[in-house]
A = this chain, B = another copy of it.
């Protein structure tokens, strides 16, 4: 069963927002056995939307549309869909009740533009929006399913989870797609490929292998396509097991999770705790951990010691150390990681200090110079890295490097 996602709105096309909806929707659809054939972002333009709908309907069985359902004049999705199907807009009582209820809750008057939000194409089934005023719409036309949802992420997500996915599952006979992902750290894509070339060559046509490289990590993804989960899943798993055995020394996780989640899982299992002293990454590493449920079992917290005075007061970094070697130095990062272990009383700690840029560099310490320390009470690893002059990249690469270092330390310590 094939789907296409069409996102409507100029804000994506001018680069004002990143389209995070589509990835989320695609992952959810894959989970229930619907493959996404194409994702298209088109403008708030009548003719363009009509063309996109027509092209998508030629390729896919299910067309999911997000965006362009707001109350304002630039939002033309609804009337364009009505035109596409050649039907009229009619007021829907259920949708009107929902809009009225929401405005009553906030004690705000119901404006005419909001009333118009309850107008829907006459051939649709309304999907209730519990988190906003724009109703979702479900159409079944000539054997194809069209689903229109708001572009506001949380409105769309609740609507997908509560209504759209269950309805798709109950309406369609869905095939099976099995993905199995292996996270590797520290080996390049082409070297990995060389090491597992014979396994890759032996894959049947309905199981594919993809390499997904990112900042010193490569995820290997096996995707199996079939009818019967009971036979397909063991087959995909068996190929995954072969790959894992072959490249065991660089496997950080045997599932599709980011490195910090693999670390959290490992530390939770072993009953270990972690704290972090971040300077140049400014909270980025902490929020990577804390975005995951259950992080508090492992993560005590830490300090974002952006100023030198915080390095001294919270981490006991000596002011002579900073004066002599500078805030960005092996000496300072060592005292930071020791201070974190001591003051926050965790089993492991990460410390990081650097010049994220774009300013603040010197000839000896150019922008992109980063010192990282990872330590337990028994063992400490300190490393200097040199990146480029792009701030966000420096922050992200510093974080991933620190996580890779901690992951290695954790696994080495276990041996």
Name A residues whose Cβ lies closer than 8 Å to a Cβ of B.
10-20, 22-30, 35-44, 48, 52, 55, 70-74, 108, 111, 113-114, 152, 154, 157, 179, 181, 188-191, 193-194, 200, 208-214, 219, 221, 223, 256, 276, 278-279, 281-287, 289-291, 293-296, 299-307, 309-310, 313-314, 343-345, 356-360, 388, 390-393, 395
Contact = CB atoms under 8 A, between A and B. Distances in A.
Contacts of A188: 108
26 contacts: A12-B39, A14-B27, A15-B22, A15-B26, A15-B36, A17-B23, A18-B23, A38-B41, A40-B41, A70-B189, A72-B211, A74-B210, A108-B191, A111-B194, A282-B286, A282-B290, A283-B287, A284-B291, A286-B286, A287-B287, A291-B392, A293-B357, A295-B306, A301-B304, A302-B303, A303-B314
A19 to B, nearest CB: 6
A70 B15 contact: no
B13 A70 contact: no
Nearest to A25: B15
Contact of A15 (B28, B108, B209, B345): B28
B282 A284 contact: no
**Total copies of the chain:** 2
Contacts of A358: 293
Contact of A10 (B15, B223, B307): B223
A41 B27 contact: no
Most central of A72, A283, A360 by chain B CB within 10 Å: A283
A413 to B, nearest CB: 22
A53 B30 CA distance: 25
B13 A26 contact: yes
Contacts of A14: 26-27, 30, 36, 179, 223
B306 A290 contact: yes
B16 A212 contact: yes
B38 A74 contact: no
Contacts of A356: 290
Contacts of A300: 306-307, 309-310
A265 B286 CA distance: 25
A390 B285 contact: no
A391 B293 contact: yes
Q: Which 10 A-B pairs have the closest CB atoms?
A: A282-B290, A15-B27, A283-B286, A15-B26, A283-B283, A301-B306, A283-B287, A39-B41, A301-B304, A300-B307
A55 B52 CA distance: 11
Most central of A13, A44, A74 by chain B CB within 10 Å: A13
B40 A40 contact: yes
Contacts of A35: 13
Nearest to A11: B212
A12 B23 contact: yes
A395 B291 contact: yes
A293 to B, nearest CB: 5
Contacts of A309: 300, 345
Contacts of A190: 71-72, 111, 113-114
Contact of A212 (B17, B25, B48): B17
Contacts of A293: 357-359, 391
A208 B44 CA distance: 11
Most central of A15, A108, A113, A181 by chain B CB within 10 Å: A15
Contacts of A189: 70-72
Nearest to A343: B313
A189 B151 CA distance: 14
Given A15-B23, A282-B299, 8 more contacts: A108-B191, A157-B390, A281-B287, A282-B286, A284-B287, A290-B395, A313-B343, A314-B314
